A and B are shown apart, each in its own frame.
Chain A
Amino acid sequence: MRGLAIVLGLGLWVGALAAPVDLKINLRVGEAPLEWGRIYQTPKGQRYRVDLLKFYLSELALVRPDGREVRVGGLALAEFRRGGPTQGVSVMRFEVPSGEYRGLRFDVGVPRELNHQDAATQEFPLGVNSGMYWAWNPGYIFYRLEGAAFLEGREEKWVIHMGTDAFRIPVRLHDLQMRRVRLEVPPRGTSFVLNLDIARAFLPGPNGAFLDWRQPRLRQLHGMSPETALVMSVVYYQMLNAFSLAR
């Protein structure tokens, strides 16, 4: 009898550890699903298309109702290309104890202790074959969004390559104060679906600065260059609120 209790208890404990969770992403432009090839418009009236999105996701943790965290860790590279799916795309699978959570947090980026290692010796999703290694600026592009702008009949390529340790984006989707967020992980596992509004990058900042593709230097937005740092900071600021839990 006592042996059976131990086995049952152990089974429950193992079950609590082993609930699988699938983290999925919906790409949005505002409230609507992103459609490849469709031409959108920024709040400043510039027309654009999106061709590629890749980003690193790391330091994932689920937040318990008492504020403690269940750290998942790991590093994933989410990749969205023209013609591929944009809704409900699985980007990371992990296991956590079943139970109730008040949300989750993660970073868009590569942890510092991985970001500066020799990329020639690192394995996917890091390393030079990831397409995210920044050869001239040691470290990785954390968030890579590319597309085309339509300027007076011309089509101009644009890129946003956000990286360097200072531009790791903390995403905090938990709410311990108002308790409006509740995530349930049943023993059999579940999916969490997040919306990512890629158009947040094109919103003007509090100072009115915005990504103006009429300026050639802003079509290649990289890292921390003082020439583009103000607009990169605006994009970063807007990206802080680009992720949300899908309802």
Chain B
Amino acid sequence: MHAGRWLLWVVPLVLLGLERPAPPSHAPAPDPRALRAARAVPIPPDNPQTPAKVELGRRLFYDPRLSLDGRVACASCHRPEFAFSDGGKPVSVGVFGRKGSRNAPTLTNVAFRRRLFWEGRSPRLELQAVGPLTAHHEMAMEPEALAQRLSSIPEYARAFQEVFGEPPTLKNVAFALAAFERTLLSYDSPFDRFVAGDDSALSPAARRGMELFFSERGDCFHCHVGPEFTDDEPRNTGLYTVYPDVGLARITGKDEDVGKFKTPTLRNVALTAPYMHDGSRKTLREVVEHYNRGGEPNLNADPLIRPLGLSEREVDDLVAFLESLTDTRFIANPALLPPR
């Protein structure tokens, strides 16, 4: 009875966005200069990195023969010029024109992701790669068909034998792709140069945006944490009141997980439009405005989602800072582009 009366008051207030729980206490904002990014790439012991394996992974990454209709490669949806995202498409198109329901994320620094896919439920690149290779609306390959097709291509048969000592299988295709993906490293943005001591690397607007980003007022840094600009945690960001795609709840079946998606990295974010899990926000400004408004009413919304009260100029400054996370050398790195 008491609980029911309490709900009568609280639910409408929360739905109207009039009353939100106070943001939880978090670690204080870091000094951006402390965010030096150079770290050793974690390599799993069962998939040691070798130049030959990385090169094989690169060939596979750009090869549409890995898909059922022979027209879709990993690179079809993870295009280098868009920081390995899908270049303006809200959702990607797979074999036979089948459409997915989610926006292809950037592969920038994917070696450091602790969780993969938008729900964050895949723990390592070797397993994640199996998903697109076999998914009905992506590349739609059966393990046997993939092994057979690659075995019939002499250069692949030879390369797999050299790298893995066995013919192609779905598993070693995934291992080679993971090895290549671990080389997709991007740490040469204006922000990185600023962190390294170049005060002129950031424009005045970007610098103001940086101060906001790492402040309690702008409050971006609690989720977009550290040099990778993500903590890999799933959150509901109040994108919708009713989510057409339920996110993490698709796996857990729990009401409290409806609308939760993994926090994405912001590195190269200016190259990866459109935004959010469904590609529903076309520009960075739209995204920042969404957070500035405090999102849509949603009972699962993260407590940090609340109206920020930023001015138009401050929104522009934040966008300028996000644009300073662009690493143009990364997208032109010949070692990451299609093999000749």
Contact = CB atoms under 8 A, between A and B. Distances in A.
A207 interface: no
Contacts of A159: 136
Interface string B132-154: 10111000001110010000000
A138 B253 CA distance: 14
A131 B143 contact: yes
Nearest to A222: B250
Contacts of A118: 123-124, 127
A41 interface: no
Interface stretch (B58-66, B168-176, B294-302): B168-176
Interface string B114-140: 000101011110111111101110000
Interface string A98-133: 000000000000000000001111000001111101
Contact of B122 (A130, A138, A166, A227): A138
Contacts of B119: 136
Contacts of B171: 120, 127-129
B123 A129 contact: no
B143 A129 contact: yes
Contacts of B129: 135
Interface in A154-181: 157, 159, 164, 166
Contact of B142 (A127, A131, A136): A131
Interface size for chain A: under 10, 10 to 19, 20 to 34, or 35 or more residues?
20 to 34
B10 interface: no
Contacts of B131: 135-136
B258 interface: yes
B252 interface: yes
Nearest to A146: B136
B282 to A, nearest CB: 25
Interface string A130-154: 1101011110000000000000000
Given A129-B169, A131-B144, A229 B46 contact: no
A135 B128 contact: yes
A226 B258 contact: yes
A79 to B, nearest CB: 10
B246 interface: yes
Given A129-B170, A130-B143, A135 B251 contact: no
Contact of B124 (A120, A166, A229): A120
Contacts of A223: 250-251
B249 interface: yes
A131 B123 CA distance: 18
Interface of B: 46-47, 117, 119, 121-124, 126-132, 134-136, 142-144, 147, 169-171, 174-175, 246, 249-253, 255, 258
Q: 5 shortest A-B CB distances, which residue pairs?
A: A135-B131, A224-B253, A225-B250, A135-B130, A120-B126
Given A220-B136, A225-B246, 16 more contacts: A120-B46, A120-B124, A120-B126, A121-B46, A128-B126, A128-B170, A129-B170, A136-B117, A136-B119, A138-B123, A157-B136, A166-B253, A224-B251, A224-B253, A226-B255, A227-B250
21 contacts: A118-B124, A118-B127, A120-B171, A120-B175, A127-B171, A128-B174, A129-B171, A131-B134, A131-B143, A136-B119, A136-B131, A137-B250, A157-B136, A220-B136, A223-B250, A224-B252, A225-B246, A225-B249, A225-B253, A226-B253, A229-B253
Interface of A: 118-121, 127-131, 133, 135-138, 157, 159, 164, 166, 220, 222-227, 229
